Amino acid sequence: MEQNNTVTEFILLGLTQDPLKKKMVFVIFFIFYVGTVVGNLLIIVTIKSSRTLGSPMYFFLFHLSLADSCFSTTTAPRLIVDSLFSQRTISYNECMTQVFAIHFFGPVEVLVLIFMAIDRYVAICKPLHYPTIMRQQVCTILVVLAWIVAFIHSTTEIMLALKLPFCGPNLINHYCCDLQPLLKLACMDTYMINLEWVSNSGSICTGSFVFLMISYIVILHSLRNHSAEGRRKALSTCISHIIVVVLFFGPCIFIYARPPTTFPMDKMMSVFYTIGTPFLNPFIYTLRNAEVKNAMRKLCHITTTSESRR
């Protein structure tokens, strides 16, 4: 398909054309990206090194942090670097790679969030069956399944993108390559492709959000039969999960589950979905989770002790 295109590269217009605002974009998103990588890496190292964080919930949190780091990396570094230059070009192949990466790591995060909700449902509503249902082998299979399904989804999306012929113009009014801005540049009727795109990505976002909210409503309703201490602990965990679900799926549904119309807030919604949420997740999960905070303190203490002995 690339041989039939007269366009071999695209120009990303980014978030702003104003030189001063571009410097602000560089500073803000550099801090966001470093915070995302450091925060999620800290969670990954903490879970991997702690014996107290061996439950399925933290196994899924490990993979959520990994997906967050990768998902943010698909867009944030280019946004940061492009804010330093006036000409922000991206080759056709790089653009298609970015489309694939966005639609690969995003669904991994979606599926891991679903598995975390299932884990909380079984733990709270079926506590006697929890060790049997959520055993390590099952959790491993679920995570492997998440990466496989995400690969199939991203392959479907990239096949839609590769169908698009581009003959000019090549200005993408966005900070990254995604199907929605690319559809506007295609030299063909994109109605059917857009329909496939909305039915694929849009239905995944909307269906997953509805499933997750119903799951947490059922979980919160079942807490009536638990002790005050049990309710407090379960609420603390579930509220963290619900906050992440709303922050992630709100922008996701806004971007993917609608007709191909452009709104002024599109780019900011995409920023929040691809960069903001991965940055906030480590804070949400650590600030409301005493076990993770204690494990991090122990890890820091062990690291400090080891350094002082040297």
The pLDDT of residue 310? 62
d(CA 270, CA 277): 10
Element holding 167 (H helix, E strand): none
57 in Cβ contact with 285 (< 8 Å): no
d(CA 236, CA 18): 43
CB atoms within 10 A of CB 232: 11
Residues of the chain with pLDDT under 70: 1-4, 260, 288, 303-310
- Residues 225-232: contacts with CB within 8 Å, 24+ apart? 226/124
CB-based burial of residue 20 (10 Å sphere; 0-12 exposed, 13-18 middle, 19+ buried)?
Answer: exposed
Of 21, 1, 42, nearest to 267 (Cα)?
A: 21
d(CA 244, CA 246): 6
- State whether the Cα torsion 82-83-88-90 is positive or negative: positive
Q: Which amino acid is at 57?
A: M
Q: Is the pTM of this model over 0.75?
A: yes
Angle between helices 92-125 and 56-73 (to 10 degrees): 160
The pLDDT of residue 23? 92
Angle between helices 277-287 and 290-309 (to 10 degrees): 90
For 290-310, letters b (16+ CB in 10 Å) and e give ebbeebbeebeeeeeeeeeee
Q: Tell me, rounded to whole angstroms, the distance of Cα 187 from its chain centroid.
A: 31
- State whether the Cα torsion 109-36-39-289 is positive or negative: negative
39 in Cβ contact with 279 (< 8 Å): yes
80 in Cβ contact with 15 (< 8 Å): no
110 in Cβ contact with 116 (< 8 Å): no
d(CA 274, CA 157): 17
The pLDDT of residue 181? 87
Q: Is the peptide bond before 131 cis (omega within 30 degrees of 0)?
A: no
The pLDDT of residue 90? 92
Largest CA distance in the chain: 68
CB atoms within 10 A of CB 113: 23
d(CA 13, CA 88): 7
Convert the pLDDT of each residue in 145-157 to its tens digit.
999 999 999 999 9
